[in-house]
Amino acid sequence: MKFTVGKHTFDSKKEAEEYFLRIRDQYNDGQSLENDDLKEVIELLALHPNAKDKIGPGVNRISVGVNERGNGREFKIHRADGTVDNFRPKKCITQPVHHSNLMDACRGHIADQISAFRISEFSANTCLRCPINGELLTEGNSDVDHYPISFKELVFRWLNSIDLGVQQVKVAGASQHEIEDAKLRQSWIDFHRKQARLRLTSSTGNRSRR
């Protein structure tokens, strides 16, 4: 089963865990993560079942260190208020069911916005080309892409704006998911309408970025 963290899609949870363990092992104890490593590990942290509490007032930096038992290494979260917490990649990766359901629900709630954008673009333009690979676009070979802010990043920004974590947003439905609370549902729809930046890409071009 594929597993996604930020813009990275892995073939399995095991592959995802190994990827983040390799990031961890590139650093010495006490050393802070830098650049893309820091960004990707923060995206991983957002999947933690207690992400809101782990992040607290905000993350200043993330370092690597030995765990409290002294028998392994983990990521250390250095918060804005000076407190420190820790987490392991495995904890973030083994609990994605609710996360995936929330992402599905959020996509479903803005489907009409995506459809309206597609119709508007093809109605207004007779010749559209993919900004990634230059391919001529048709309704059959195109995707609506969130860019430069990805869809998942947009969801996390919405959650931050309402001060909730992934696990705090209840999702209903078995095959077709939806945000249970009507006010939260509308909050997401309005946030997406105001904040999302969309573009048309070819399906092959869009897949090449994943």
CATH code for the domain of 86: 3.10.450.40
% of the chain surpassing 90 pLDDT: 60
Task: Indicate if 122 and 67 belong to the same structural domain.
Answer: no
What is the tens place of the pLDDT at every residue in 24-75? 999 999 999 999 999 999 999 988 877 888 888 889 999 999 887 777 899 9
Q: Alpha-carbon distance 160 to 144, whole Å?
A: 24
The helix (run of H) or strand (run of E) holding residue 3 is strand 3-5
Q: Which single residue is written with the structure tokens 């909730």? A: 164
Is the omega angle on the peptide bond into residue 49 within 30 degrees of 0, that is, cis?
Answer: no
Task: Find out whether 171 and 98 touch, Cβ atoms under 8 Å.
Answer: yes
Distance of CA 200 to the CA centre of its chain: 20
Q: What is the pLDDT, as a whole number, of residue 95?
A: 61
Query: How many domains, the chain?
Result: 2
Range of the domain at 28: 3-93
SS3 23: helix
For residue range 140-153, list pLDDT tens digits in order.
899 999 999 989 88
Q: Are residues 194 and 168 in the same domain?
A: yes
Name residue 150's beta-bridge partners.
Answer: none
Mean pLDDT of 81-99: 83
Say if residue 155 is in the same domain as residue 204: yes
pLDDT, tens digit (0-9, with 9 covering 90-100), for 6-27 = 778 888 889 999 999 999 999 9
Label residue 11 exposed, middle or buried (CB < 10 Å: 0-12, 13-18, 19+). exposed
Which one has a higher pLDDT value, 174 or 12? 12
pLDDT at 174: 65
- Model pTM? 0.59
Token pair 């865990």 in the structure block, residue: 17
Of 93, 112, 145, which closes a domain? 93
pLDDT of 2 higher than 80: no
Kindly state the tokens that stand for 155.
Answer: 């969801």
Q: What is the rounded average pLDDT for all residues in the chain? A: 89
